A and B are shown apart, each in its own frame.
Chain A
Amino acid sequence: MNKLIPLFFLVFSIEISGDEENKLDFNNDAYPFSSEAKETLFYSLLNELRCPKCQSSNLSGSNSPISNDLKREVYELVLEGNSAEQIKSHLVQRYGNFIIYNPPIEPATYILWFGPFLLILLAIFIILFVRKR
């Protein structure tokens, strides 16, 4: 196993610093992290980001070359300490909103986000109106 570790430093070209905080605990992880919070963030992002080449799959569910590249990109961004929002906007800048399964809230998507709740309010309003009569 030991020979793998340098391999991965090579592949991911991670800067090794002496700083305890950034020490990575490998434990055979493909994506080793210094803290559990970062690891959780990483895997939750993989589930939210879309594999651009696949017909319909997130990064977590895909092993295609481009997904692996994007996983590495997300991994590095998480290691650098970026927040979920920063990482998503980093990728949206490059790939557009297509890359995230969670559509942003903007004027063109108001109807998507608020439509269902407006519709239910409207329906309740109509029922109450009919009931009164």
Chain B
Amino acid sequence: MIPEIGHIILISHLVLSFMGGILPLAAIYSKNDFLSIPTKKLSVFLFFLILVPFLVLIYSFLIDDFSVAYVSQNSNINLPNYYKLAATWGAHEGSLLLWILAMNGWLIAYMFFNNSKDKDYISTVFSISCQVIFAFSLFTLFTSNPFERILPIPPLSGADLNPSLQDIAFTVHPPLLYFGYSGLMIPFAISVAAMLFSKDTKEWASNSRPWTLMSCSFLTLGIALGSWWAYYELGWGGWWFWDPVENAAFIPWLLSVALFHSLIASENRGVYGKWSILLSIFAFATSLLGTFLVRSGILTSVHAFALDPERGLFILGILAFFIIGSLFIYSIKDFENETTPSYELTSKEFGFLLNNLLLVVLAVSILFGTIFPLIYEAITDGKQISVGAPYFEVILFPFALALGLLQGFALYLSWGTSSSFKFLPRLLIESVSIFVLILIILFILFDNLHLTSFATIFLSSWILMGTLQINKNKNLNYWRFLRKRAAVTFAHSGMAILTLGVAVVSSYSIEKEIILAPDDSVEFGNQTILFKNTEDIMGPNYFSKSATMSFSDGSNISDVLTEKRTYSPSGQLTTEAGIKTEIFQDLYISMGDNLEADIWSFKVQIKPFIRWIWLGALMIAIGSLLAGIKRVRKT
């Protein structure tokens, strides 16, 4: 009975979001007040209409109601409660509910905290958002209903949640990512409303900027958590694989970064208005496109959801409706009050132009590389090709280099006129000193210098000094610094730290496959690894063979546990890596195969500076969140 309540409320959510998508527009265009509805209240009401089905689904998981098909496919009696909660969004149907919930959350936030006084314009933003929400609600009910029942005879126990998703990071990673994706709905709706109302560029850009920044912040966090999860959960120690699903998140991230930078120029100078509108549309489009690529099954991948071409078709339909619609408005719109930008080559405006150019071309290239295997198959009549990390790294490098070089001095550029480059010699000297300092530290730590990493390490010192030094020039006191510069300083330094992490981890990492019997030890890097013993462990829903390994660098000895788990309901195997984290490096060991009696193979890795990648990402996320919140509160 309770799942039916969830189902019915979900249907009412569909109906109400449809009305929210139509009525306000009808009221505005017919100038008929009779049709107007209280949009603020409606946004809250809609939120509850999706929250209740979501809670009902969680409840069904917690009470093991296996008559609900979705629960029986993704849970099990022995699954710990904590993971039952996570299982709610662990597969396609439930994750859609979470997605819609997130969209409604953003809509409430926008309705209550936006900085526009134009009622009709806000109602239009509301209406367009409701249309998007309606489309997702329809998609859920028609192709992916989480409340479908297995009646009259429900299974006694479920199939279990995919074991690699039974993990703490995984409980948080999807919500954050969906918050990021769905947040891009707001800038999209704003850009369409801005076109319909011929809004002044500065005005709508300032309206859009906080929401773009916050979405980008959530995307950053979601992606970083996903990378961390893959690193320790998949057992091979990679932190980024250029897998289609990862790319599907990375592309909207790049575009949202491009967008909020372009919005800075639009808000301050009234330039690039058309460009910002296009970017808002495409950032949202790529977040839908990512969903399409992942869930239609046209690209296979580690985290691919249940594959279903019908769902793919539906998402394509949503994409076609909203994006063709908005681009059509764009193509017929007469942008007469568009300021022609001053293309002074050394002005801040031109800096933003270059930044956007690089980010957008990079995003397009990654998208193209991601779907290229399909194109290749079509043009070569069935031949197959893989486009993976080696390709993407080659493409990324020159773009990252150009972006980083630009980022280093971008903050010094001035609006409207040619900038003075008096700061340059000092910045160069300082970043070279930091660069040398980093090299010395690396040499002390690892006894080795890799020429291939020099360019990227220099880049990170260049970005860092370019970010920090400008604050000194401005002579800000503590409070003014916090208010004016903290967000950008945080985010840009985060980029420097991330760059350093990537540079070091990709050139200093070492890996080896070894074979050990208990009490054997082996030298690896500066470590001695001892295989102490194996042990059998019974978990709540798995059986595991575990090995205790001890790492010793002469002074510190520490034990880690690596496991091979067999999950009982599904019989699936997972490898739990044993990781010892130090400030400058991770020691990573994962169990391989049992070769004979107690003799096992292991894969052991040393990953220097890997934590710095996520630290940098966290700083970027905090920085952009601060920047976003600051602009919400300003109004």
Q: Which residues of A contact B (CB under 8 A)?
A: 1, 4, 7-8, 27-31, 43, 47-48, 50, 54-58, 60-63, 68, 96-103, 108-109, 112, 115-117, 119-120, 123-124, 127, 130-131
Contacts and interface: CB of A to CB of B under 8 A. Distances in A.
Contacts of B596: 4, 7
B523 A101 contact: no
B411 interface: no
Nearest to B246: A56
A27 B385 CA distance: 37
Contact of B389 (A68, A101, A112): A101
Given A57-B236, A61-B234, A123-B361, A103 B243 contact: no
B634 interface: no
Contact of B515 (A4, A97, A120, A127): A4
Contact of A56 (B244, B369, B515): B244
Nearest to B340: A130
B302 A56 contact: yes
Contacts of A8: 515
18 contacts: A7-B596, A28-B516, A30-B513, A30-B515, A50-B386, A58-B389, A60-B603, A61-B235, A61-B238, A63-B592, A101-B388, A108-B379, A109-B376, A116-B361, A119-B365, A123-B357, A127-B343, A131-B343
Given A43-B512, A97-B383, A103-B385, A4 B517 contact: yes
Nearest to B345: A131
Nearest to A101: B388
Interface in B377-391: 379-380, 383-391
Contact of B383 (A50, A62, A96): A96
Contact of A58 (B353, B376, B388, B522): B388
B520 interface: yes
Contacts of A50: 386, 388
B372 interface: yes
B256 to A, nearest CB: 20
Contact of A29 (B301, B379, B512, B595): B512
A119 B388 contact: no
Interface string B109-130: 0000000000000000000000
Interface string B381-408: 0011111111100010011000000000
A30 B361 contact: no
Given A28-B522, A119-B364, A97 B512 contact: no
A48 B237 CA distance: 15
Best-buried of B515, B517, B523, B601 by chain A (most CB within 10 Å): B515
Contact of A97 (B241, B385, B513, B516): B385
Contacts of B368: 112, 115-116
Given A97-B385, A102-B391, A108-B379, A56 B601 contact: no
B263 to A, nearest CB: 19
A55 B164 CA distance: 14
Contacts of A120: 357-358, 361
Contact of B300 (A55, A63, A103, A112): A55
B308 interface: no
A111 to B, nearest CB: 8
Interface residues of B, number: 56
Interface in B297-325: 300-302, 304
A127 B592 CA distance: 54
B593 interface: yes
Given A56-B243, A56-B300, A103-B385, A28 B515 contact: yes
B599 interface: yes
Contacts of B390: 48, 101-102
Chain B interface main SS type:
mixed
B511 interface: yes
A58 B357 CA distance: 32
Contacts of B515: 4, 8, 28-30
A29 B514 contact: yes
Interface of B: 234-238, 241, 243-244, 300-302, 304, 343, 353, 357-358, 361-362, 364-365, 368-369, 372, 376, 379-380, 383-391, 395, 398-399, 511-517, 520, 522-523, 575, 592-593, 595-596, 599, 601, 603
A3 to B, nearest CB: 9
Given A1-B517, A4-B517, A108-B379, A63 B391 contact: no
A97 B515 CA distance: 32
B282 to A, nearest CB: 15
Given A4-B517, A28-B514, A119 B236 contact: no
Nearest to B384: A98
A43 B343 CA distance: 49
Closest 8 CB pairs of A and B: A101-B388, A61-B236, A102-B390, A116-B365, A30-B513, A98-B384, A28-B522, A131-B343
A112 to B, nearest CB: 5
Contacts of B343: 127, 130-131
Contacts of A97: 383-386
Contacts of B513: 29-31
A58 B243 CA distance: 11
Q: A29, A97, A124: which has the most chain B beta carbons within 10 Å? A: A97
B290 to A, nearest CB: 15
Contacts of B372: 103, 109, 112
Contacts of B511: 43, 60
B514 A30 contact: yes
A36 B608 CA distance: 20
A27 B523 contact: yes
A127 B354 CA distance: 10
A1 B520 contact: yes
Nearest to A48: B390
B387 to A, nearest CB: 5
Contacts of B385: 96-98, 103, 109
Contacts of A130: 343
A101 B391 contact: yes
B516 A57 contact: no
B165 to A, nearest CB: 15
B465 to A, nearest CB: 27
Contacts of A54: 302
A97 B372 CA distance: 13
Contact of A30 (B364, B365, B369, B601): B601
Given A7-B595, A61-B237, A123-B357, 6 more contacts: A1-B517, A30-B513, A31-B513, A55-B301, A102-B388, A120-B361
Contacts of B302: 54-57
Nearest to A97: B385
Contacts of A112: 368-369, 372, 376, 387, 391
Contacts of B523: 27
Contacts of A56: 241, 243-244, 300-302
B567 to A, nearest CB: 16
Nearest to B360: A123
B380 to A, nearest CB: 6
